[in-house]
Amino acid sequence: MEKILDIVEAIAHEKGLEPEKVIEALKTAFVQTAKRVINNKFAFEAEADLRKKTIKVFQTITVVADDDKKLQDEEIAPAYISITDAREYDDQVELDDQLQIDHNLEDYGRTAAASLHREIEYHVQRLVEDEIFNKYKSKIGALVSGRVTRVDPQNNTYVEVDEIRAILPMKSRIKGEFFKVGDHIKAVVRRVNMDKENGIQIELSRTSPKFLEELLALEVPEISDGTVIVERSARIPGERAKVALISTHPQVDAVGATVGVKGVRINAVSQELIGENIDCIEYTNIPELFVSRTMSPAIISHVEIVRNALGEPEKAIITLPSDQKSKAIGKSGINIRLASMLTGMIIELVENDSKTSNNMNEETQEQKDGVDALEALFN
C-alpha cells in the first residue's frame, strides 16, 4: 500500500475528475475493504497523508465503564470498549474518550488486496457516474448533438453524445423524420435518470418547444447574447410553431432580427425542423393585445379577457368578422391551438353579426351625409 496516492492524479486526469474527490473515493474504498476483511460491525475511518502519499485505516472505539450495558449488546458492542481493556492500549484514557486503533490492510494478505482493488474500481466508477449525472442534469433543456449508433425495432434512436449514449424515443421525434446509423443529429436533453440496474439514462427530444428556442439561439446572435428574448413558444412538431419575442434594446426589432434578411435565419431553423412553419410575434404583457397578435393571420375586431378568482387571465373571448374565422382556426384547428398554448388561455371565437354590422354602417353613412349637408348650408 506504499504511496497509493500516486495513482490519484492519474485517475483524475484519465477520468476528468477532481483529485480531492478521487481521494475521498479511495478513502471510502479503504473503509469498505476493512469492514469486509476485518469486521463489518467495527467503526472504521480512513485518513489520507498527502506528504507520505498513504492512506491509513483505523478503528474508532468509545471508552465506557466495565459494567456498561452497551458492551452486552451484540449489535453495537464493537463500537465500544471497557475502560479496563482500553488502558492496555493507553493508561491515560478516560471514560467517553475515543481510541483509534490502526489496521494495516497488508496484514490481511491477498484477500484484502483483491477486495481493495474491487472497491477502488467500484467507487471511482460511481464517482464518474455521479459527475456525468450532475453534468447532464444541469443540461436539461440545453442543445446537444451526437452521432446515431443504433435504431432499434421500435424506432428508438440511440445517440452517442460525448462520453455517454443517449436515447431519442420515437415519441420525441418529429413526425416524418428517420435516422440511420452514422447520422449526426441535434436535440435537447429532456430527462436524466440514474438507477442501480441501468445506470445513467439520458432522454433526448426534438419535439419540445425548448428545442425550437435553442435552435433560434444558435441561428440568431441577438437571442444568444440576450438582446432578444424568447418569452414564450409553442409547437405542433413538424407542422407549425409560434414564438413570442421581446427586445431589450430600443433599436433592435425582435421579430426582424429573428427572421433575418429575406427570412434566412428563420428558414435555417425551419429546415432543421423538417419544414415546420414558424410565426414570430412581438410579445406584450397586455393580454388583449397579445391574444390579438397570436391569432395572426386572422384580423380580430375585439378581445375580452375573462379572469379567474386570483385575477389571472383564464379565457379570451375573441370577436371577429365571419370571413376571418377560418383563418383564426387554421387548418385542422392548428392556429387556435397554438394561440391557446402560447397565451395559456382558453380561446372562444364569436362572429360579428353581419346584419347588425350592415345596419350600423348604414346609420353611420346617414349621419355622415347629414353632417356634410349642414356644412354645405353654412358655407
Instruction: List the chain pLDDT tens, one digit each, 379 residues.
Output: 556 777 888 888 888 888 899 999 999 999 999 989 888 878 888 888 888 888 889 888 888 888 877 777 766 777 788 888 888 777 777 888 877 788 888 888 888 889 989 999 999 998 988 888 999 999 999 999 999 999 999 899 999 998 889 999 999 999 889 999 999 999 999 999 988 777 889 999 999 999 999 999 999 999 999 999 999 999 999 999 999 999 999 999 999 999 999 999 999 999 999 999 999 999 999 999 999 999 999 999 999 999 989 989 999 999 999 999 999 999 999 999 999 999 999 999 999 865 444 444 444 444 445 445 434 444 4
| Cβ atoms 55, 48 nearer than 8 A | yes
Read off φ and ψ for residue 132, nearest 5 degrees.
-65, -40
Distance from C-alpha of 275 to C-alpha of 290, rounded to nearest angstrom: 26
Q: In angstroms, rounded to a whole number, what is the distance separating the alpha carbons of residues 17 and 127?
A: 8
**Residue 193 near residue 201 (C-beta atoms within 8 A):** yes
3 state DSSP class of 176: coil
DSSP annotation of 338 reads: H
Residue 200 and residue 136 in contact, taking contact as beta carbons nearer than 8 Å: yes
Whole-angstrom distance, CA of residue 123 vs CA of residue 38: 20
Whole-angstrom distance, CA of residue 277 vs CA of residue 103: 70
User: pTM of the entire structure?
Assistant: 0.75
* Alpha-carbon span 57 to 134, nearest angstrom: 30
Fold of 285-379: GMP Synthetase; Chain A, domain 3 (3.30.300)
Q: Which three cell numbers stand for residue 356?
A: 347588425
Q: Indicate left, alpha or beta for 53 from its phi (over 0: left) and psi (-120 to 50: alpha).
A: left
For residues 24 and 19, what is the distance between their CA atoms, to the nearest angstrom?
9
Q: Which amino acid is at 152?
A: D
- pLDDT at position 81: 80
- Kindly state the cell numbers that stand for 186: 441535434
**Domain 141-205 listed as CATH 3.30.1020.10:** no
Same CATH topology for 141-205 and 208-283: the answer is no
Residue recorded with cell 346609420: 363
Is-contact 81 61, C-beta < 8 A? yes
Nearest-angstrom CA–CA distance, 214 and 273: 12
* CATH top-level class of 208-283: alpha beta
Give the closest residue to 115 by CA, choosing from 63, 40, 48. Answer: 40
Hey, where are the domains in the chain?
6-136, 141-205, 208-283, 285-379
What is the pLDDT at residue 33?
Answer: 92
CB 232 within 8 A of CB 342: yes
In the chain the first and final C-alpha atoms are separated, in Å, by 115
CATH superfamily of 6-136: NusA, N-terminal domain (3.30.1480.10)
**Helix, strand, or coil (residue 143):** strand
